[in-house]
Amino acid sequence: MADLALRYSRLIGTNPVVVAVPRGGVTRLHLPGDDVKVHLVRAVLKAHAEPGEELELLGAPTTELDARGRERLRRRVGAVSREVGLISNLNAWENISLPAAFHGLRRRAAGVSGPPA
C-alpha cells in the first residue's frame, strides 16, 4: 500500500486496532486507551514494531529495515500531540508545518544540508 504514509495494526484482546493514514494526509486518531496510544506513537517514532504489531511507514514494512534504514525513515516521520501546546489560531496543518518549516529553515541558515539528525 504505497499510497499510505502509515499503516499500523495491533490486536488488543479480541479487538483489532487498525490505523491507516494517506500520504500527505493529516489524521486525528481516537484510540481505545493510553497504552494503545503509547504503543502506536512509540512504534511510529522508533520506526519499529513490537511483537504482535504490524507497522508500515511510507510504503516500507519496518520489519524489513535494518537499523540504518529505520534511522533514515525516522527522519521523515513526526507526530503532534495536543499536549505539546498547539497554537490555537492555527489549523492542524499549520500546527504541523510551522515547526517542520522552522527546523528546515534553521538547518539551511546554518549551512547544514540533508535530513535532520
pLDDT in tens, 63-79: 888 989 888 887 777 66
Together in a domain, 68 and 12 = yes
Rounded Cα distance, 31 and 37, in Å: 6
Together in a domain, 84 and 74 = no
Together in a domain, 32 and 46 = yes
Using CA of residue 82, residue 86, residue 91, residue 93, what is the dihedral sign?
Answer: negative
Together in a domain, 68 and 37 = yes
**Which range marks the domain in which residue 117 is found?**
80-117
pTM confidence score: 0.62
DSSP 63: G
At residue 82, the pLDDT reads 63
Interhelix angle for 34-46 vs 67-74, to 10°?
A: 110
pLDDT in tens, 8-64: 888 877 778 888 888 777 777 788 888 888 888 888 888 888 888 888 888 888 888
* More confident: 86 or 19: 19
Together in a domain, 51 and 74 = yes
Together in a domain, 9 and 56 = yes
Beta strand 4-12 pairing with 53-57: antiparallel
Q: How many CA atoms lie within 13 A of 73 on its CB side?
A: 24
Together in a domain, 74 and 84 = no
